[in-house]
A = this chain, B = another copy of it.
Amino acid sequence: MSDLPARVTIKEEGPREGFQIERGAIPTADKIALVDALSDTGLDYIQVTSFVNPQKVPGMADAEAVVAGMTLRPGVRYAGLWLNQQGLLRAIATGRLYLEGKLTLYASDAFLKRNQNRTREQQLAAQPELLRMYQSHGIAVRTGFVTAAFGCNFEGDIAPSRVVELVAEMRQIAREAGEDLSLIGLGDTMAWANPESIRRVVGMVRDANPDVELSLHLHDTRGLGLANAYAGLQMGVTHFDAAVAGLGGCPFAAHAGAAGNICTEDFVLMCEEMGIETGVDLEALAECARLAERIVGHPLPGKVKTGGSLKAMRRTLSAS
Contacts and interface: CB of A to CB of B under 8 A. Distances in A.
A196 B306 contact: no
Q: How many copies of this chain are found per oligomer? A: 2
A280 interface: no
A223 interface: yes
Interface in A125-162: 151, 153-157
A137 B192 CA distance: 49
Interface stretch (A20-28, A35-43, A167-175, A268-276): A268-276
Interface in A292-320: 299, 301-304, 306-310, 313-314, 317-318
A257 interface: yes
Contacts of A270: 194-195, 223-224, 227
Contact of A274 (B192, B196, B299): B196
A222 B299 contact: no
A214 interface: no
A86 to B, nearest CB: 34
Interface of A: 1-2, 4, 151, 153-157, 191-192, 194-197, 199, 220-224, 226-227, 229-231, 251-253, 256-259, 263, 266, 269-270, 273-275, 299, 301-304, 306-310, 313-314, 317-318
12 contacts: A2-B199, A4-B196, A157-B314, A221-B307, A223-B266, A224-B226, A227-B227, A227-B229, A227-B230, A256-B306, A257-B308, A259-B303
